Chain A
Amino acid sequence: GAGVSQTPSNKVTEKGKYVELRCDPISGHTALYWYRQSLGQGPEFLIYFQGTGAADDSGLPNDRFFAVRPEGSVSTLKIQRTERGDSAVYLCASSLISAATSGVNEQFFGPGTRLTVL
């Protein structure tokens, strides 16, 4: 079956520009997560959606970063006034949350979007 997809796979932009990164989760997965992975590091949590609402946005580094999931499926991560330090691979994941598993199902990751800010 189809996994998590992310577009674009690569994005090059200039400092100060606005970018949008898209994530299509696995069909039926209610939970969606965004992470950022810098070179030589593990993924760093940004934000988690349960349905349409952001259940935890404690990982967003500042107010230039914003994410939406208006219909509870596709999500868009938006970065305003990009900085060179925003360059990283942005990963999206989804999972099925159910009462039976107490919400600890594994997360399925997409291939990521490599963002380069010049």
Chain B
Amino acid sequence: AQSVAQPEDQVNVAEGNPLTVKCTYSVSGNPYLFWYVQYPNRGLQFLLKYITGDNLVKGSYGFEAEFNKSQTSFHLKKPSALVSDSALYFCAVRDSRGSQGNLIFGKGTKLSVKP
């Protein structure tokens, strides 16, 4: 069965410092991986995805993520955090062998960036 783990409930970072939000996954086939961000009282917004190819994926708002097959990880990163990055971040995976619709989400990591 496919699953996603976000081991940290909360990540605290000072503005200007690099940030990492961790995600590991488990699928039987090849993974399709996604990061979404959720701001208070707003819908989930797509940040980036990994389907195939280059392991380093660049996305919206300066975020990037690195696919590591051996560690089954897809950590979200940003070189310099902004206070406005504070939000709830979700990692999601779909098994390439599975239903096109069935995205499995992690339980989310709250990112808090302090000035």
Binding site for B on A (CB under 8 A): 3-4, 31, 33, 35, 40-45, 47-48, 50, 55-56, 58-59, 91, 93, 97, 101-104, 106-112
User: B103, A45: Cβ atoms under 8 Å?
Assistant: yes
Residues of A within 8 A of B90 (CB): 42-43
Residues of A within 8 A of B44 (CB): 43, 91, 93, 109
Closest residue of A by beta carbon distance from B44: A109
Closest residue of A by beta carbon distance from B103: A45
Complex Cα gap A11–B96 (Å): 36
Given the interface contacts A33-B101, A48-B101, does A42 sit within 8 Å of B106 by beta carbon?
A: yes
Pick from A35, A59, A107: contact of B46, CB under 8 Å: A107
Bin the interface of chain B by size.
Answer: 20 to 34
Residues of B within 8 A of A42 (CB): 4, 90, 92, 105-108
Complex Cα gap A48–B100 (Å): 8
User: A110, B43: Cβ atoms under 8 Å?
Assistant: yes
Given the interface contacts A4-B43, A104-B32, A109-B45, does A48 sit within 8 Å of B105 by beta carbon?
A: no
Residues of A within 8 A of B103 (CB): 33, 43, 45, 107
What are some 25 contacts across the A-B interface (CB < 8 A)? A31-B100, A33-B101, A40-B107, A41-B107, A43-B44, A43-B90, A45-B101, A45-B103, A45-B104, A48-B102, A50-B100, A50-B101, A97-B100, A101-B51, A103-B100, A104-B32, A104-B49, A104-B100, A106-B34, A106-B46, A109-B44, A109-B45, A110-B43, A111-B41, A112-B43
B42 at the interface (CB under 8 A from A): yes
Count chain A CB atoms within 10 A of each CB in B45, B51, B105 and give the residue with the most: B105
Given the interface contacts A50-B100, A110-B43, does A44 sit within 8 Å of B105 by beta carbon?
A: yes
User: A56, B101: Cβ atoms under 8 Å?
Assistant: yes
Q: How far is the CB of B49 from chain A (nearest CB, A)?
A: 6
User: A55, B105: Cβ atoms under 8 Å?
Assistant: no
Q: How far is the CB of B39 from chain A (nearest CB, A)?
A: 11
